[in-house]
């Protein structure tokens, strides 16, 4: 009987020892011989706004075994605009590595969403690693003030008493031939002098954004801008259309908008009231860039 009790006591002790080990280490042990214990540092990167001039976007990965150099395979779901390398390399002795995405194909103002993942399961511990990172990326222009210029609008601002020339701040997108004319129609008194109080209240652009075409001479803008005046009796906005945006039949008028001097740019919008008709391109606008001539003497 004593021998039976002694045997049972030994069995209970062994069970308790195993139980204690299970409580202390409840998770399965992951130890493939070639594991580098690689992980993304972040699982989600949302609304990452990038400079328009940037050509790469970097993602950081880490590992727990930095002694030897290692190359890890990665995959990406980005369809276009963002190119992900097939691998990322950890240098010997380093616990972090940088995965550089090629973003030269990204368009400014467009949001790109995709996922980058570790594709070789032997390089990470699936129980603890961040095996993929989801990114939302967008490029944005950096606007730099060039100083004060002058704006003349033959239709919206010119009255019987004055040209209605306005002082305007001009911004340039850093690294690009793209510009913004800031608050060209902020002067309500001049709009009223040109059109009357009853015509005010329409949609009004706080800036006009335009760019220089590849020929270095002509300029263009996206769609139209609104000066903040309504057409008499119709209650409809007068719009300054880029001619070809309005109709292919007037696309030849695009060429009128160009540099007319080293510092003076002419804009020939097709003035139009949707659903009613328009005035064509016979009422031009001119911008004298900062450092350019006074428009009153230039016109």
Residue 226's CB: how many other CB atoms inside 10 A? Answer: 17
Token digits of residue 285? 């606008």
Do 157 and 99 lie in one domain? The reply is no
Rounded-to-integer distance, Cα 218 and Cα 252, Å? 12
Q: What is the pLDDT of residues 22-79, one digit of tens each?
A: 334 444 443 444 457 899 999 998 867 899 989 999 999 999 888 899 999 999 999 8
Do 178 and 253 lie in one domain? The reply is yes
Do 195 and 264 lie in one domain? The reply is yes
Cβ atoms of residues 157 and 140 within 8 Å: no
Query: So what's the pLDDT on residue 232?
Result: 78
Do 124 and 234 lie in one domain? The reply is no
Flag whether pLDDT at 216 surpasses 70.
yes
Do 149 and 106 lie in one domain? The reply is no
Phi, psi values for residue 262, rounded to 5°:
-60, -30
Tokens 């300054």 belong to 240
* CATH code at position 48: 2.60.40.2030
Do 154 and 76 lie in one domain? The reply is no
DSSP secondary structure code for residue 174 in this structure: T
Do 189 and 73 lie in one domain? The reply is no
Cβ atoms of residues 57 and 137 within 8 Å: yes
Rounded-to-integer distance, Cα 290 and Cα 180, Å? 12
Number of structural domains found in the chain: 2
Token digits of residue 180? 């913004």
Do 44 and 127 lie in one domain? The reply is yes
| Final residue of a structural domain among 106, 140, 174 | 140
Cβ atoms of residues 100 and 56 within 8 Å: yes
Q: What is the pLDDT of residues 218-242, one digit of tens each?
A: 999 999 999 999 997 667 999 999 9
* CATH code at position 205: 2.40.160
More confident residue, 48 or 252: 252
| Final residue of a structural domain among 140, 160, 184 | 140
More confident residue, 124 or 115: 115
Do 161 and 122 lie in one domain? The reply is no
H or E element: which one contains 22?
helix 2-24
Asked whether residue 16 is assigned to any structural domain, the reply reads no
Asked whether residue 19 is assigned to any structural domain, the reply reads no
Flag whether pLDDT at 18 surpasses 70.
no
Do 62 and 89 lie in one domain? The reply is yes
| Full domain range(s) for residue 135 | 39-140
By residue count, the chain amounts to 299
pTM: 0.75
Do 293 and 147 lie in one domain? The reply is yes
Residue 295 falls in which region: left (phi positive, over 0), alpha (psi -120 to 50) or beta: alpha
Rounded-to-integer distance, Cα 55 and Cα 39, Å? 24
Do 133 and 211 lie in one domain? The reply is no
């Amino acid at each position: 009987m004593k021998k039976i009790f002694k045997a049972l006591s030994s069995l209970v002790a062994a069970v308790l020892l195993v139980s204690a080990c299970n409580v202390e280490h409840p998770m399965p042990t992951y130890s493939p011989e070639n594991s580098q214990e690689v992980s993304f540092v972040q699982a989600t990167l949302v609304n990452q706004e990038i400079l328009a001039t940037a050509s790469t976007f970097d993602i950081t990965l880490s590992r727990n075994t930095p002694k030897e150099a290692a190359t890890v395979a990665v995959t990406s779901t980005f369809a276009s605009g963002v190119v992900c390398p097939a691998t990322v390399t950890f240098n010997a002795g380093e616990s972090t590595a940088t995965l550089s995405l090629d973003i030269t194909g990204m368009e400014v103002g467009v949001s790109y969403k995709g996922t980058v993942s570790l594709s070789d399961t032997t390089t990470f511990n699936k129980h603890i690693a961040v095996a993929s990172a989801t990114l939302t990326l967008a490029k944005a222009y950096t606007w730099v003030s060039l100083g004060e210029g002058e704006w003349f609008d033959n239709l919206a601002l010119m009255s019987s008493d004055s040209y209605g020339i306005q002082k305007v701040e001009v911004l340039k997108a850093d690294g690009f031939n793209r510009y913004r004319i800031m608050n060209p129609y902020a002067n309500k008194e001049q709009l009223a002098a040109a059109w009357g109080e009853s015509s005010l209240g329409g949609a009004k652009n706080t800036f006009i954004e335009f760019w220089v075409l590849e020929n270095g001479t002509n300029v263009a803008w996206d769609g139209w801008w609104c000066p903040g005046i309504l057409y008499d009796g119709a209650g409809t906005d007068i719009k300054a259309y880029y001619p070809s945006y309005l109709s292919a039949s007037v696309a030849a008028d695009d060429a009128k908008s160009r540099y007319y001097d080293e510092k003076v740019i002419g804009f020939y919008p097709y003035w139009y009231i949707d659903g009613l008709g328009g005035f064509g391109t016979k009422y031009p606008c001119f911008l004298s860039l900062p450092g350019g001539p006074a428009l009153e003497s230039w016109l």
